[in-house]
A and B are shown apart, each in its own frame.
Chain A
Amino acid sequence: MNNSFIEMDSCQITKGGQRICGDVFLLERVAESGRVVATLSDGMGSGVKANVLANLTAGMGQRFALAGSDMRKNAEAILNTLPVCRERKISYATFTLADIQPDGSTHLVEYDNPLTLWVRGGTCKDPERRAHIMERPGAFREEVLQFSHFSLQPEDRLVICSDGVAQSGMGTKPHPLGWRESGLRDYVEEILSQDARISARDLAKKIAQRAVANDGYQARDDISCVVAYARTPRKLLVATGPPYEASGDAELAQSMAQYPGKRAICGGTTASIISREWNSPVHVNLDERDRSVPPSATLEGADLVTEGMLTLGKTAELLENRWEADIPAKNAAEKLTLLLRESDEVSFVVGTRINEAHHDPTLPFELGIRRTLIDRIRRALELIYLKKTDVTYV
């Protein structure tokens, strides 16, 4: 598999009455290689205690896997570190660890979580698993670790859940034994038959919400769903600021026109330049009324046109605060945030010509520097949302 992007996202719903989730999901993308390592751990019980245990487990899983040591030894080390509950004689936290290389090569280690679904062509299948049995002193039964190694192809997905999903609805009339893995499988296949290109984020959200619905809209256990989706990367170009030399205008407009992906223009002057070069008028959306952010505009050939500094500043804030998308977006900064979040690779083209009016000391507040704002946005996109970004100054 070449040039695929692994989109991975999760949705967690905390057990009713608890304020802290006892399932922990950790995700890391290695920037240089594009490798993705993720661990979902379910701590026994709920609340703080469960969270601490799950955090400990997921943290070890991540660190060992990223360090590149042998998966079996890693898993054994985790199990040997985990305390065994004195009363119940079982281990404190379960886990599923996925290590996905950019070429699709995937290693899974599963310990006591519901089995991971591997979805290809809208149908769930099982990877070939090898069980590794471990005896642990103090435990009432042998521990079974499941290892699998397979290759993700473009459009393949992985669905990883905590038992809060598989056991949701247990004891209710429609699901006396819980939703179970079979219910989850049918639901995933049903969603994919309706929307074959659903994002990892939306699929995880749908599954978690359905599990809560099974529980009667009050989760009876911590519910976590993680989805990995291998797909062709969605590219976005963000042009902001006019080029230093006016002679660069035509070049900027041309490279934007030829860009193979979505295009956003952030800046009044930039929009005027592109509009002039493309010979296409800009229309400001006057129905968008928001005091803090100027209205967005439309320009044929661009997916979004916004003002520059104020909108970018607000966007950086929304990204850093992990703003939960409230569709439809109310202002230009929310629109830009959504566009950035649904893209996998974002290229910024930053013009370095200074607008003196922005540095007028009589302005009511300081506008900041474009370059600093773009750095903030890039950092948030890379660290929080695991996007690939690059920047060119013109």
Chain B
Amino acid sequence: MRTIVVTVCSGTACYILGGSDLLTLRDHLEEPYSRHVMLAGSPCLNRCKDRSENKRPPYVTVDGKVYGNMTLETLVKTVQSVLDAS
């Protein structure tokens, strides 16, 4: 299993729409996944201003790919599936 970087946006809109929960990702990942995740924050991923994509805050990047509308549940699932596929 590779180690991947998960970057959570902690800008204003992301934070109040659930980004604060996403920063607790580590507490919700089980072994062996948690060992293969490097959690980082970003002051702003600059996605909320882009209205062309049909996505909403909070935004997260998992292994370089951007995801919107994230909840803790979908983030855990996304991380697991990305790691399973690697």
Residues of A within 8 A of B (CB): 267-269, 271-272, 275, 282-286, 289, 291, 294-295, 297, 305, 307-310, 355-358, 360, 363-365, 367
Contact = CB atoms under 8 A, between A and B. Distances in A.
Contacts of A357: 12-13, 48-49, 57
Given A282-B43, A284-B40, A356-B51, A310 B23 contact: no
A286 B37 CA distance: 14
Contacts of B24: 289
Interface residues of B, number: 23
B44 interface: yes
A310 B43 contact: no
A358 to B, nearest CB: 6
A282 B12 CA distance: 16
Contacts of A282: 42-43
B16 interface: yes
Given A271-B43, A282-B42, A307 B12 contact: yes
Contact of A294 (B19, B40, B57): B19
Nearest to B12: A309
Interface in B4-58: 9-13, 15-17, 19-20, 23-24, 39-44, 46, 48-49, 51, 57
A243 to B, nearest CB: 14
A297 B9 CA distance: 12
A365 B46 contact: no
Contacts of A272: 43-44, 46
B42 A294 contact: no
Nearest to B41: A284
Nearest to A284: B41
Given A286-B39, A365-B16, A295 B44 contact: no
A355 B48 contact: yes
Nearest to B20: A291
A358 B20 contact: no
A294 B44 contact: no
Nearest to B46: A272
Interface in B43-84: 43-44, 46, 48-49, 51, 57
Contacts of B48: 355, 357
9 contacts: A267-B12, A268-B9, A268-B42, A284-B40, A284-B41, A284-B43, A309-B12, A357-B12, A357-B13
Nearest to B51: A356
A284 B15 contact: no
A356 B20 contact: no
Contacts of B16: 310, 363-365, 367
Contacts of A283: 40-41
A294 B15 contact: yes
B13 A355 contact: yes
Q: Which 6 A-B pairs have the closest CB atoms?
A: A284-B41, A268-B44, A268-B11, A357-B48, A271-B43, A268-B43
Given A269-B43, A284-B10, A307-B11, 11 more contacts: A268-B10, A268-B11, A271-B44, A284-B42, A285-B41, A286-B40, A286-B41, A294-B12, A355-B48, A363-B17, A365-B16
A283 B38 CA distance: 13
Nearest to A274: B43
B17 A269 contact: no
Contacts of A364: 16-17
A359 to B, nearest CB: 10
B41 A269 contact: no
Contact of B41 (A295, A360, A363): A295
B15 A310 contact: yes
A289 B24 CA distance: 9
A307 B49 contact: no
B12 to A, nearest CB: 5
A285 B12 CA distance: 16
Contacts of B49: 269, 355-357
Given A269-B44, A289-B24, A360 B13 contact: yes
B21 to A, nearest CB: 9
Contacts of A309: 12
B51 A268 contact: no
Contacts of B17: 363-364
A275 B42 CA distance: 11
A307 to B, nearest CB: 6
B15 A297 contact: no
A291 to B, nearest CB: 6
A367 B12 CA distance: 9
